[in-house]
Amino acid sequence: MLLASAVVVWEWLNEHGRWRPYSPAVSHHIEAVVRAGPRAGGSVVLGQVDSRLAPYIIDLQSMNQFRQDTGTLRPVRRNYYDPSSAPGKGVVWEWENDNGSWTPYDMEVGITIQHAYEKQHPWIDLTSVGFSYVIDFSTMGQINRQTQRQRRVRRRLDLVYPMVTGALPKAQSWPASPATATSPAAPPCSCPQCVLVMSVKAAVATGGSAGPLQPPAARKNVPPSGAVRLPPAPGPVAKPLDSTIRGPVKPVQSQVIRRQASTAPAGVTVGSPASPSGANGKTGRVALATLNRTNLQRLAIAQSRVLIASGVPTVPVKNLNGSSPVNPALAGITGILMSAAGLPVCLTRPPKLVLHPPPVSKSEIKSIPGVSNTSRKTTKKQAKKGKTPEEVLKKYLQKVRHPPDEDCTICMERLTAPSGYKGLQPTVKPDLVGKLSRCGHIYHIYCLVAMYNNGNKDGSLQCPTCKTIYGVKTGTQPPGKMEYHLIPHSLPGHPDCKTIRIIYSIPPGIQGPEHPNPGKSFSARGFPRHCYLPDSEKGRKVLKLLLVAWDRRLIFAIGTSSTTGESDTVIWNEVHHKTEFGSNLTGHGYPDANYLDNVLAELAAQGISEDSTTQEKD
């Protein structure tokens, strides 16, 4: 142990095996719960400090981050850094991703960049930390040494990470060097999980497999109590996300656990995140920080086996693969509650997000029977000229000579009184009243003309009360391309048919007069977008109607993204698509027994039905 001061950074392990730092505010929140001890409950609700992290909970006993809507579990750790480094000064280095937002570098990379910046170096080559990037401080850019692709970087000030003073695990103090001598190890613990960890780590170090695990009773040379001291290897340095690089992630080196004399005093487990204070003197669990992602997965699978083999009663808690996110969330919460109560839990491996099908060669891609062509483009369609709004609406209305004594739901004035609309003056009298021919709803004609002038002016009208559409409704979708074809793979829930793949491509551009901000540029994030339908009779019906919707510019619109908050960008327009091929973790995948019926109803709400395909041909 080493008496010193350090800043504490809480980090989580992502799917690429890299430790990603939580923000300073979130780290302060987690640290406050840790220091509060058992009275804080042993779990941290991250949404209390950052609304973007609302689905996430950290269970301090198992040191896992749990996502409530998908049931995904990820390891977390408590790491220490020099107070004079970037996290100790509140300095955050970030790079601009493809979506135009800013992503912080992993802590080790950010510290390296900040050190060079303070030394007033003109640039820093990140090859020394294992990445093929150069940071140019004069242009504040990141350059990929292999592709020469450049990204913007920035340096900003944030809160300083929380500070701790006192006895720190030597292997976690700075500089984190694997060559530092470790303290004498305490007797290893004989609990099933510690036995499991030791077996897996020993197998990893020797290049073998974990092998069959024996119950603790069969391992006579394991002392009955104590804690295992592990000299941790430094965690993997995160790599800036760059679609042009697909380098392998280097596994974290594992070390063989050396058993020491049972007379050594028990202490804090080195390399593991600290447990909440006052935890009844229980020894810490073996650290998982020195295992790479593959071995963490092996560990999760083997844990169930060792518990069952040891005769400990267990309750299997599975991440169910239903279309609703409620099932995995309940499973994860159950696991956390049982773990907090000291009950052993068998957790299955979390389901993986499968966005795309296996690779398909060009020869395997086929056209869809009954559907002409394999792609079509759309450009802006101009409204029919030569007709005034009054002339357009005249064919949808019947004049009402004696209006009922009720409100016009557009201006909220009585129908027996003149219209209360105060906008541009239509060329009709404000006291005229008309009834829509199909649905029978009654309005001031003055109000209907004003509503038409404020819309797309495409020759169609939609009743503001019941949404009945008169004429052919069109949208404001920007120009683009829609491709569609068959691929020889089946969707979950549709094993007896192939799959229709739809690919939407829309480039960024300038907004037209029908868009929210005419003359201003708009972005198009995430294109090309891949969507999937089963190649069944109903699936082909949906495709044909989607083609009509595409031609009428109703699939996309320009607005504000509900997921990123970005304005003036291409967004979906009330017709849901399935963008996950082999999973349904986000609700946008399969199986979903009601999806085809739901999307048919959404298309009908846009005025698109089977009759529409005939109208398009005419």
Residue 149 pLDDT level (bands cut at 50, 70, 90):
confident
| Mean pLDDT score, 289-305 | 50
- Which candidate, 496, 460, 489, places its Cα nearest to that of 475? 460
| Dist. CA 142–CA 135, nearest whole Å | 5
488: pLDDT strictly greater than 70 = yes
198, pLDDT greater than 60? no
Provide the mean pLDDT of the chain. 74
User: In Å, how far from its chain's centre is CA 582?
Assistant: 16
Q: How far, in Å, CA of 483 to CA of 530, rounded?
A: 10
Q: Which residue has the higher pLDDT, 73 or 281?
A: 73
Instruction: Please say if the pLDDT value at position 262 is more than 60.
Output: no
Top-confidence range, 296-310, 318-332, 383-397, 437-451:
437-451
Q: pLDDT band at 339, cuts 50/70/90? A: low
Contact present, 151 and 96 (Cβ < 8 Å)? yes
Cβ contact 426:465 at 8 Å: no
- 111: CB partners within 8 A, 6+ apart: 81, 85, 86, 87
> Higher model confidence: residue 427 or residue 216?
427
Quote the pLDDT of residue 336.
59
Lowest-pLDDT range, 209-218, 306-315, 349-358, 562-571? 209-218
pLDDT of residue 466: 87
* Residue that wins the pLDDT comparison between 14 and 40: 14
According to the model, what pLDDT value does residue 569 have? Answer: 93
Q: How confident is the model at residue 332 (pLDDT cuts 50, 70, 90)?
A: low
DSSP designation for 494: B
Share of the chain above pLDDT 90, in %: 33
This prediction has a pTM of 0.48
pLDDT score of 196: 46
- At the second CATH level, the architecture of 480-615 is 2-Layer Sandwich (3.30)
Mean pLDDT of 44-61: 86
Domain 5-165 has CATH 3.30.720.50: yes
The residue type of 388 is T
Q: Residues 6 or more apart from 35 whose CB is under 8 A from it?
A: 276, 277
User: What's the topology of domain 389-464?
Assistant: Herpes Virus-1 (3.30.40)
Task: Outline where DSSP puts E strands in 473-513.
Answer: 480-487, 499-505, 509-510
Residue 11 phi, psi (nearest 5):
-135, 155
**Axis-axis angle for helices 293-309, 192-206 (nearest 10):** 140
| For range 493-505, the mean pLDDT | 95
Q: What is the predicted pLDDT for the residue at 576? A: 92
Are 336 and 43 spatial neighbours (Cβ–Cβ below 8 Å)? yes
Range(s) within the chain of domains with CATH label 3.30.390.130: 480-615
Supply φ then ψ for residue 201, to 5 degrees. Answer: -65, -40
* Cα–Cα distance for residue pair 399/49, rounded to 1 Å: 58
In this predicted structure, the answer to whether residue 302 has a pLDDT above a threshold of 70 is no
The pLDDT of residue 460 is 87
- Confidence check: pLDDT of 404 > 80: yes
Q: SS3 of 352, please?
A: coil
- Per-residue confidence (pLDDT) for residue 427, from 0 to 100: 75
d(CA 81, CA 330): 36
Measured CA to CA, the distance from residue 168 to residue 165 in angstroms comes to 8
What mean pLDDT comes out for the span 392-420?
A: 89
Check residue 451 and give its pLDDT. 86
Range of 47-56, 295-304, 531-540 with top mean pLDDT: 531-540
- Give me the pLDDT at residue 423, please: 67
Higher-confidence residue of 349 and 600: namely 600
pLDDT in tens, 431-459: 899 999 989 999 999 889 888 887 778 88
Given a cut of 70, whether residue 384 has pLDDT beyond it is: no
**pLDDT confidence of residue 304:** 44
Residues written for the chain: 618
Q: What is the mean pLDDT of residues 481-491?
A: 95
3-state secondary structure of 74: strand
Of 472, 500, 461, 505, the closest CA to residue 484 belongs to: 500
Burial of residue 289 (CB within 10 Å: 0-12, 13-18, 19+) is buried
Sequence ranges of the chain with CATH classification 3.30.720.50: 5-165
pLDDT at 561: 83
Q: At what angle do helices 610-617 and 537-551 cross, to 10 degrees?
A: 50
Q: 345 pLDDT band (50/70/90 cuts)?
A: low
d(CA 45, CA 156): 26
Residue with tokens 């997921």: 563
The mean pLDDT of 518-532, rounded to a whole number, is: 93
Single-letter residue type at 405 = D
**Could you give the count of Cα atoms lying within 13 Å of 451 in the half-sphere of its Cβ?**
19
In this model, does residue 55 exceed pLDDT 70? Answer: yes
Q: Which residues contact 594 (CB under 8 A, 6 or more apart)?
A: none
Say which residue, 343 or 105, is predicted with more confidence.
105
Of 80-84, 160-164, 262-266, 297-301, give the lowest mean pLDDT range: 262-266
pLDDT of residue 465: 87
Mean pLDDT value of segment 86-93? 92
Boundaries of CATH 3.30.40.10 in the chain? Answer: 389-464
215-219, 442-446, 540-544: which range is least confident on average?
215-219
